[in-house]
Amino acid sequence: MKKLTFYLTAALALACSSCGNGIYPVSGKVTYNGAPAKGAIVSLLRRGANLMNEPAIMGIVRDDGAFSLVCGDKGTGAPPGDYDVLIEWRPPSTLPKGLAKQTPDRLGGRYGDPKNPRLHAEIKAGTNSLAPFELKDN
């Protein structure tokens, strides 16, 4: 799991080089049926924006359910704005690189559909501690 976390963190650090200097720390917590969603990936998509021109803002849920968002080499955080929050939770894969996305989302795609987002967040200038995202089977 440490190796997977390292590679995911490295990918997140490289995912966004256009976040700009105006990013602010964002943290939160994700639970699934009351337990930490360890390993789930949290992504922010600016509401109403052209996704092709938006930075990738993501974080990985840690053992205790907490996460911090990363905006590439610009650091931890996100630019201010209104966002849709997407969460996918795929089991660790032993498949070769590039095939891991084929593993099923433990959440059945309920929280990861950008066309029908179920979760939202507002990021403000300053430190942001988001309300917990409490995911359920329904």
Q: Which domain holds residue 19?
A: 2-135
Average pLDDT value over all residues in the chain = 83
pLDDT tens for each residue of 61-110: 999 999 999 987 677 899 999 999 999 998 876 666 666 567 789 999 99
* Number of neighbouring beta carbons within 10 Å of residue 15: 17
CATH number, domain with residue 120: 2.60.40.10
- Count of structural domains, the chain: 1
What whole-number distance in Å separates Cα of residue 70 and Cα of residue 67?
10
pTM over 0.95: no
3-state secondary structure of 100: helix
